[in-house]
Amino acid sequence: MIFYCLINYNNSEDTFNCLKSIPEKISEDYKVLILDNGSDEISYSKLLNLIDNNNFQISNHCFKKVLQDFKPNSLSYDDVHIIDDQEIKCEKKIFVIRSQMNLGFPRGCQNIVDILINRLNLMEEDKLLFLNNDTFISKNAIERTKNFVNKNPLSVVSPSICFEHNGKIKNWYNGGKVSKFRGSAYHLNMGEDIKLLEEFSETDFITGCFLMLKAKPFIKKEIEWFGDLFLYADDIDICESLKKKGYKLFVDKNSLIFHVVSGSQKQVKKSSLNYYTTRNRFHIIDKHFKSYTVIFYIYIIFSRVIKLIINLDMSALDGIKDGFSRKKGKR
């Protein structure tokens, strides 16, 4: 069984686009859990109406033009069921769970995992696919990644990921690298032409945009999503935590999904982006790279002062201040 795990926050159309791209006919059964992370009433109602009415048409012209093998699927929306506190019907395919407040991405993901374990009988051999809601996925990506995880149970896998850049489809993720003294990670070959190769390659970092693995480490409580981060750097934490438990990370260079990119960021102001990407590095250094603390302090202060001079944005300095005090959660 594959469990798709999506977070929605005031972004109903992208979430529904993602749903429509999920391949219905694959060689393994699946369920989809959508956690609505405190969206306003209008956005939440729109999501439910889109699902109920099944009236969506793909509108991203670059996606349609370049990736012809990505076909929208006819999901049976009779399978939609809204979870409340009293009832969960396990025969349903799609579950929408509503949170009354914005929990942040990592805590939202962990809440989905907890619901799966406690209410939907998640098994160790089941697969979890944490997926950004502004993605279009392909059958090839699902089949190849889940087959690899089945054969290699201590693996975490992502396909190659592309995006639209200056009117062209370019590589967004094709492997990644963690910078220990920065407390951050970066994507390899970002912005370059897409080159699909017949191979799975071990990598140092997998983005939280698409992350598939067996459910076992969550059921065994070996790892959990670092909810205190609220936003950004959670994928660095989950990757480093998994590596410490003996898991290896792989990117499939022969399958491809499309990431809208701006869809997951349009609800985030630039000041918030600068704040969280600065503050959360302190937590990553504390948890995973403590021996780099002094070098990190020198780097983060110098780089953020330069950013302040160039952009006149105090949010990065706020991130440093709250990073030193180890503030957690929402700003």
pLDDT tens digit sequence for 286-327 = 999 999 999 999 999 988 888 776 777 788 889 999 999 999
Say how many CA atoms lie within 13 Å of 269 toward its Cβ: 7
Predicted pLDDT at 118: 83
Counted residue by residue, the chain has a size of: 331
Can you read off the two tokens belonging to residue 170? Answer: 């370019």
Q: How many CB atoms lie within 10 A of CB 253?
A: 19
* Mean pLDDT for all residues in the chain: 83
In this predicted structure, the answer to whether residue 92 has a pLDDT above a threshold of 90 is: no
Of residues 133 and 54, more confidence is placed in 133
Q: Are 16 and 143 in contact (CB under 8 A)?
A: no
Cβ atoms of 140 and 252 closer than 8 Å:
no
Residues 6 or more apart in contact with residue 149 via CB below 8 angstroms? 127, 155, 156, 157, 212, 213, 214
Strands, DSSP E only, in 100-247?
A: 127-131, 135-136, 155-165, 168-173, 176-179, 184-187, 200-203, 210-214
Domains detected in the chain:
2-263 (3.90.550.10), 270-324 (no CATH)
